[in-house]
Amino acid sequence: MTTTTVDVKTLETQHVLQNYKRFPVVFTRGEGVRLFDETGRAYLDFLSGIGVASLGYAHPALTRAIADQAAALLHTSNLYFHPLQGQLAARLTALTGHDRAFFCNSGTEAIEACLKFARRFWFTEGQPRQKFVALAHGFHGRTMGALSVTWDDHYRAPFAPLVPTATFVETDDPAALHAAVDDTTAAIIIEPIRGEGGVRPIPSALAEAIREACARTGALLIADEVQSGSWRTGPFLHSQALGLSPDLVALAKALGGGVPVGAALLTDRIAATVVPGDHGTTYGGNLLACRAALTFLDEADRLQDSMRAASTRLFDRLHALAAARPGLIADVRGAGLIAGIEVTVDALAVVNAALARGLVINRTSGTVLRLLPPYIVTPAHVDAAIDILDQALGAAAQ
């Protein structure tokens, strides 16, 4: 059965909730770092499903693992043991220095778990702290708890009142963070690199203020590594690069290579306060999800050298492009295989021009072009992508 773009758009318009603004292309398959539309046209993918398709498309090891697991057993439930959840938890805790993992299905679910576990800890301690301190330009998800610690009022306002105890501070104001964090603060929640908020790294001065505020008040630290974690920026967690030791960590996106996987990692100190019934999930940590994540960890570990080479080439080319187009590019930010390009022209026009030329990127935070290539990207792929981006910038500037 074949479909056309018109068929797909008609069916979606009639039957799918219209809460997404889709680009007028229908992708039907992928291979390596490329997607293909229904006409067979190839696109170089430097978005990877917003950081999800970490091993690219039709990756042989991941494809085999999914097929093998589907033929054996997909799901039982969390009422029973299965052979993979403990293995995945052991791998993740070894990589991060945490002690335990709770598995779920997405980044926002992992954030919800971290928020609940922080509240549960203080309840058990006999001093039920409720306040969360979050950062300007931070994005943590669209469920009610995660939305409460998400900064942009565009996301928040239609769903108020939210959890009423969230305070936001600017990242260039360590004094404001110190003023906000007190002995009623359950946790500080941060994205080490705020991806949806414009690929904005946390300044070192704020990282130091976070360490001091946690030590002074006992407030827990939650690191939202949904986009910046799982080796996306170089180290397994970007908080490690900042010298931060979070009590709780949220992971998702790249971790499953395209299969929905989320994880909340926590120390034994926090885990000791969580009892059966406090939290749960039907699908989280099933065999398919764990098999995909274990495969991702194996394959991504082998890609570390090539990822570093691709990252070096990516930022060399982006800085050269910024120097060549000073009137169009205001800033280049990021680390590893996440990059944000602040532009002075219509960012959406650049995205559209790139798509028309066979390059998939997106716009975030209004004026920022975001690049999240899959981990299998090579310097040659980078060169091809930046050449197209240069053309797209020129087209948008006309």
pLDDT in tens, 150-174: 999 999 999 999 998 899 999 999 9
In a shared domain, residues 226 and 279: yes
- Residue 68 maps to a domain: no
Same-domain check for residues 31 and 116: no
Q: Are residues 129 and 235 in the same domain?
A: yes
* Among candidate residues 259, 283, 302, the one where a domain is terminated: 302
Same domain, 297 and 316: no
Is the same domain home to 175 and 52? no
Residue type at 368 in one-letter notation: V
- 97 and 168 fall within a common domain: yes
Mean pLDDT, residues 283-297: 98
- 3 pLDDT tier (thresholds 50, 70, 90): low
**Listed residue (29, 49, 42, 21) closest to 372, CA to CA:** 49
Mean pLDDT of the chain: 97
Name the DSSP class of 159. Answer: G
Check residue 378 and give left, alpha or beta (phi > 0: left; psi -120 to 50: alpha).
beta
Query: Average pLDDT for residues 238-265, to the nearest whole number?
Result: 98
Q: Are residues 262 and 349 in the same domain?
A: no
* b (16+ CB within 10 A) / e for 268-285: eebbebbeeeebebebbb
Q: Is 343 a domain residue?
A: yes
87-138 per-position pLDDT tens digit: 999 999 999 999 999 999 999 999 999 999 999 999 999 999 999 999 999 9
Q: Report the domain count for the chain.
A: 2
Stretch 358-380: mean pLDDT:
97
Q: Which of 302, 334, 363 is the last residue of a domain?
A: 302
What mean pLDDT is predicted for residues 310-336?
97
Q: Is 296 in the same domain as 310?
A: no
CA–CA separation, 206 vs 191, rounded Å?
A: 12
119 Cβ contact partners less than 8 Å away, ≥ 6 residues apart: 128, 129, 130, 186
Q: What is the pTM of this model?
A: 0.97
39 and 147 inside one domain:
no
pLDDT band at 1 (very low <50, low <70, confident <90, very high): very low
Is 65 contained in some domain? no
**For range 311-334, the mean pLDDT:** 97
pLDDT band of residue 6 (cuts 50, 70, 90) is: confident
Q: How far apart are CA 149 and CA 188, in angstroms?
A: 10
Structural domain boundaries, residue 33 = 5-60+303-397
Q: How many angstroms separate the Cα of 301 from the Cα of each of 150, 239, 381?
A: 32, 19, 20
Contact 370/298 with Cβ under 8 angstroms? Answer: no
Do residue 163 and residue 134 come from a single domain? yes
Q: Which two tokens stand for residue 363?
A: 């716009």
* Residue 175, both tokens: 């004094």
- Cα–Cα distance list, 315 to 138, 195, 390 (Å): 23, 17, 14
Strands (E), the chain: 27-31, 34-37, 42-45, 100-104, 131-135, 166-169, 185-190, 193-194, 200-201, 220-224, 248-251, 262-266, 329-335, 338-343, 359-360, 362-364, 368-371
Instruction: Pick the last residue of a domain from 286, 302, 318.
Output: 302
Residues 326 and 230 in one domain: no
Return the CATH number at 363: 3.90.1150.10
